[in-house]
Homo-oligomer: A and B are copies of this chain.
Amino acid sequence: MNIYEMFKKVREEAPLVHHLTNWVTIYDCANIVKVLGASPVMAHAKEEVAEMSAIASALVLNIGTLTPEFIESMKIAAKSANSHNAPVVLDVCGAGATKLRDDMCFELLNETRIDIIKGNASEVARIAGERIQTKGVDSTDVGKDLIEIARKLANERNCTVVITGETDIIADRSKAFKVENGHEMMSHVVGTGCMAASVIGTFAAVERDLASASAAGLACYEIAAQLAAVDSNGPGTFKELLFDNIFNLSKDEIEKLQKVTQI
């Protein structure tokens, strides 16, 4: 996998990445796509999502501030993306916290083709049918072999599974990666998880091997976070410098710092 080549391809192709996401980090999700050199669009009206997804190169869904009506729009958008062969990422944000979240995730998974399921350990474990407790939208230790959970879910759902954390796990039916980039400061600021899904969607828009796209995207994003952490004094300046560092990321930085391993 040539991570830098994928990063460069995002800049060159500037794919349109359609989002139906939460109201908390919607700006950050749009902006991370923009600073990568791609083109974000956020649109959720049921009357226009099919048309928007049809012209987009990827679709990112995030249930952070879901309502049943919003999920209806997500289904319409996902079906449109499905029929146009645009990859669909689902961030199962807060899965396990309420019955609504679980129900809506399973409806999306059962009624549309989700190409990449992304969440933290407790969220993905929940979707995989493991018994754990989520505390709001933050992760708790699941005490399980995450690689096993990812592989099993990837097989069951015939998709790519991404579990973010200190070490990220990515698995599809035939292979798995771990990404050991990133910085502890990412856990102290709201939005880093949601932005990860947007980055994955953006890379998936230019690379058909979705597990490789996910791993490469996370590596670039988390290398930028490492660089941002050096110059920041806390979570506020860190997030702004994260945008700067993605924008300025070089071939050299990516190749020297990337810690992606096939497992």
Asked whether A99 is an interface residue with its Cβ less than 8 Å from the other chain, the reply is: yes
Contact partners of A247 in chain B: CB under 8 A? 188, 234-236
Number of chain A residues whose Cβ lies closer than 8 Å to a Cβ of chain B? 60
B135 and A55: CB pair below 8 A? yes
Asked whether A252 is an interface residue with its Cβ less than 8 Å from the other chain, the reply is: no
A232 to B43, CA, bound (A): 30
Contact partners of A234 in chain B: CB under 8 A? 35, 241, 243-245, 247-248
A147 → B minimal CB distance (Å): 27
Q: Are A24 and B44 CB-contacts (below 8 A) given A34-B235, A55-B135?
A: no
B41 and A68: CB pair below 8 A? no
Instruction: Name A12-28 residues within 8 Å CB distance of B.
Output: 16, 18, 22-28
B55 and A136: CB pair below 8 A? yes
A262 → B minimal CB distance (Å): 32
Q: Closest residue to A135 on the B side, CB-wise?
A: B16
B236 and A16: CB pair below 8 A? no
A187 → B minimal CB distance (Å): 9
Q: Closest residue to A240 on the B side, CB-wise?
A: B236
Contact of A190 among B27, B48, B64, B233 (CB under 8 A): B27
Contact partners of A40 in chain B: CB under 8 A? 136-137, 190
Contact of A30 among B24, B56, B239 (CB under 8 A): B24
Contact partners of A132 in chain B: CB under 8 A? none
A36 → B minimal CB distance (Å): 10
Contact partners of A16 in chain B: CB under 8 A? 135-136
Contact of A43 among B28, B30, B45, B94 (CB under 8 A): B94
Instruction: Name A58-105 residues within 8 Å CB distance of B.
Output: 64-68, 94, 97-101
Contact partners of A39 in chain B: CB under 8 A? 135-138
Contact partners of A44 in chain B: CB under 8 A? 65, 67
Asked whether A31 is an interface residue with its Cβ less than 8 Å from the other chain, the reply is: yes
Instruction: Give A226-258 as 1s and 0s: 1 = Cβ < 8 Å from B's Cβ atoms.
Output: 000000111111011111110110000000000
Contact of A48 among B56, B99, B242 (CB under 8 A): B99
Query: What are 12 A-B contacts defined by CB distance under 8 Å?
Result: A22-B42, A31-B235, A34-B188, A34-B189, A34-B235, A35-B234, A42-B64, A43-B94, A55-B136, A233-B241, A234-B245, A234-B248
A interface residues (Cβ-Cβ under 8 A, vs B): 16, 18, 22-28, 30-31, 34-35, 39-45, 47-48, 51-52, 55-56, 64-68, 94, 97-101, 135-138, 188-191, 232-237, 239-245, 247-248
